[in-house]
Every structure is written in C-alpha cells, then in structure tokens.
Amino acid sequence: MPFTPARPDPSQPAVRINLLSDTQTKPTPAMRAAMAAADVGDEQVGDDPTVNALCDRVAELLGKEAAVFMPSGTMCNVAGLLAHCRPGDEILAHRTAHILSREGGTHAALGGFQITGLDGADGKFTPDALRAALHPRTRYEAAQTVVSVEQTANIGGGTIWSKSDLEAIVTIARDRGLATHMDGARLMNACVATGIGASRMSDGWDSVWIDFSKGLGAPIGAVLAGTRDYIDAVWRWKQGLGGSMRQAGIVAAACIHALDHHVERLADDHANAHALAHGLGQIDGIAVQQPETNLVFFDPAGAGISGAAMVKALRAKGVLLATMDGRIRACTHLDVSADMIEETLGLIRDVVRAV
C-alpha cells in the first residue's frame, strides 16, 4: 500500500452514503458558528482561553487533574506513551490495538519500545491473559511498564471493555508497578451504550484520552488527561512532535460544541448500527457480528462474493465502505440517517441477487 493516500477517483459516482468511518463527519452549521465565534490566543504558551476551557472540562469529565489538547488521537497515544516509558520498555496491549496495528511503528521508532500483543476475543484480552503475560523484572527481559486498552475495541467490532475487566486490569497493573493507558478514541460511545459515566469508566487509569473527530463530529482534535506531572511530561513530547499550536481555540470550540450537543445523540448511531446488522442478518450467506456501538463488521463470503468485491460494487452505487481484518466494516455516525441504512440494505440485497 502506498504511503500517500489516493485522491478520489473522478470517474466514480459521488458518495451519497459514507459508512467508511466516523472520521468522515462534517462540522454541522451550529458547530461552524461556534468555531467562527471562538475566543482565541496562543495555545503554545497557554494563552488560548477556549483551549484552556476545553482541557479543564475534559479533565473534569474524565476525573483527572489536568489535560492537554492534541491535533489527533494518534498523537495522544504516541506522546502519552513516550511520557510513560523509556527506551527498551515493553507495553502490553491487545494484538489488534491501534498502537500496534495502526500507528506506523512510531512507538518503536521514536521511543524504542516494544509492544507485546495479547490474544483475546473481540479485540479484548482478559485479566487472566494479562497475568499470564507478566514476567519477573530481570536484566534479561524488557521492563514491562504500561498496560494499554482501547475503548471501544475498533477491530474487535466496536466492542466495549466491561467495567469489571477494566477494574481487574488496573488492580493487576498496580500490583506489578505498571502504568495504565486507555486509548479512548470511542470512549463516549462506550459510555452512552452502557450508561456508565466517563470518569467512572476511566477510574484508576493513569492516562486516558477522547477523540473529537470521530462520532463527536469535530473536524480535528483529541484531549489526553492524567495527573499534572504526567501532563507536563506529555507537553514536552507534544512540543517536540510539532503538536503545539497557535490560535487553536477555533478547533477547540468545535470540541466544546460536540460535548454540549453530540454526546447523547451517539445513541442514534448505535440504533442505526443495530438496524444495519439486523437487516444484514436477514440476507442469506452474510455473517454479521452483532454491534455493541456504532461499528458493524460483516462477511458476505457465504453469499458468493468477497468483501472487496462487495465494497467495489457498492462504491459504484455511491456507498462507501471499507474492508478491515478480512471483513467489511460499516461505521455509523451523525451524517448517516436511518433512511440511508435502509437504502444501503436494499443495495446490498441487489448486489447479492446479482451474484
């Protein structure tokens, strides 16, 4: 795969239904108005009032002492783990975790860390699997420093780590002197689906972040939270990685608007995902994983068509999907309506009938 993303093919019909990812959301008119009206300053020297307000709000939301605004969730993971580890350290995470499968080996390249992938169903390892992966601290093996989870587990199917497993992992990590890091790219989806508040969901985790450019609908931005000393250390890496910004209040205002208006409506995305999964389950030959949040993974091989071929056929009809980990992934978000879900199901039936 080339490193440079392909530009849209002008010979293809316009995308009418975009189920590629919740990163595809466009700012709403109200969000754009909030951005235009934002009070701004120099974020790099702590002088942007809107960024400061966002960081204070997210720190309170997650039950942490302090927070830092980042351009992306990937930078939250990279800078966050650079602040936790030293070269030669080992991080424990699920083998499909974003830090291992989707961040270009940056942790090894910049920090000299190794990430050990743990097995487990649906993108989650069990507390017992974590215990089994731990080893005594000796000079012969990498120092195990951090345990990381991804809430929700993307490649696992948008699945939710249970509160009891999160608590057990924290207890095991503390007993062994390991830090805990939560990649909370879709944490608010998990909170809305379970009714568990964000501070309770992340209680005991040393570092945790939420992404605003996915289901919350902002054009850019994520916020990482932890202790004040930890956030000071993260800031050093943010500066070195080029993540410090100037009048960033324009985009921070979009994130504040998202917290005010786009959290509870995540339930609509979950309902649309369930409707899509239900409809797919009625089509002979399609195997579908029942969604817990806004991600629907399905495999049409039993209907006589590969995932790649179906994605191509639907793209020709103006529907954008992706293959991931050998299956098709559909992602619902605020720019996808219930009517679009029904239309997509009709088009998938047409493709299967044609086969």
- Number of structural domains (the chain) is 2
Q: Name residue 67's beta-bridge partners.
A: 225
Q: Which position has the token pair 């009625």?
A: 282
User: Is 238 found in the same domain as 297?
Assistant: no
User: Is 132 found in the same domain as 41?
Assistant: yes
User: Is 65 found in the same domain as 123?
Assistant: yes
pLDDT for position 11: 82
pLDDT for position 3: 65
Burial of 168 (0-12, 13-18, 19+ CB in 10 A): middle
pLDDT for position 5: 75
The strand pair at 222-226 and 66-70 is best described as antiparallel
> Quick check: is 242 in a domain?
yes
Q: What is the DSSP letter of 14?
A: P
Q: Name residue 116's beta-bridge partners.
A: 92
Report the predicted TM-score, pTM, of the whole model to 2 decimal places: 0.96
Q: Name residue 282's beta-bridge partners.
A: none
**What is residue 48's three-state secondary structure?**
coil
User: Is 232 found in the same domain as 86?
Assistant: yes
Q: Say which residues have a Cβ less than 8 Å from residue 53's Cβ, sequence separation at least 6.
A: 252, 256
> Quick check: is 10 in a domain?
no
> Quick check: is 108 in a domain?
yes
User: Is 243 found in the same domain as 140?
Assistant: yes
Structure tokens at 36: 């235009």
CATH code of the domain in which 232 resides: 3.40.640.10
- What is the 3-state secondary structure of 238-305? HHHCCCCCCCCHHHHHHHHHHHHHCCCCHHHHHHHHHHHHHHHHCCCCCEECCCCCCEEEEECHHHCC
Alpha helices in 22-138 (DSSP H): 29-36, 49-62, 73-84, 98-101, 106, 127-133
CATH code of the domain in which 333 resides: 3.90.1150.10
User: Is 278 found in the same domain as 247?
Assistant: no
User: Is 248 found in the same domain as 117?
Assistant: yes
Task: Pick the closest to residue 143 from 185, 173, 113 (CA basis).
Answer: 113
pLDDT for position 252: 98
pLDDT for position 325: 81
Q: Name residue 225's beta-bridge partners.
A: 67, 208
Cα–Cα distances (Å) from 20 to 192, 302, 335, in that order, read 22, 22, 11
Q: Which residue, 260, 287, 303, sits at the end of a domain?
A: 260
- Give the DSSP H or E segment for 169: helix 163-175
Torsion of CA 323, 328, 333, 338, to 10 degrees: 140
The alpha-carbon radius of gyration of the chain (Å, integer) is: 21
> Quick check: is 23 in a domain?
no
Task: Pick the closest to residue 80 from 204, 208, 244 (CA basis).
Answer: 208
Q: Which position has the token pair 């091989």?
A: 301
> Quick check: is 21 in a domain?
no
Contact 299, 319 (CB under 8 A): no
Structure tokens at 321: 């999907």
User: Is 336 found in the same domain as 222?
Assistant: no
What are the per-10-residue average pLDDT scores of the chain (355 residues)? 71 94 97 98 97 98 98 98 98 97 95 97 98 96 97 97 98 98 98 98 98 98 98 98 96 98 98 98 98 98 97 97 93 98 98 94
User: Is 303 found in the same domain as 255?
Assistant: no
> Quick check: is 95 in a domain?
yes
Q: Which residue, 260, 279, 300, sits at the end of a domain?
A: 260
Task: Pick the closest to residue 18 from 341, 325, 248, 240 (CA basis).
Answer: 341
Structure tokens at 190: 């998990």
Q: Which domain holds residue 331?
A: 265-354
Q: Which residue, 237, 260, 283, sits at the end of a domain?
A: 260
> Quick check: is 13 in a domain?
no
User: Is 163 found in the same domain as 224?
Assistant: yes
User: Is 208 found in the same domain as 180?
Assistant: yes
> Quick check: is 286 in a domain?
yes
User: Is 87 found in the same domain as 185?
Assistant: yes
Task: Pick the closest to residue 81 from 243, 245, 224, 252 (CA basis).
Answer: 224
Cα–Cα distances (Å) from 175 to 85, 171, 222, in that order, read 18, 6, 30
pLDDT for position 2: 60
- In angstroms, the CA 144 to CA 137 distance is 8
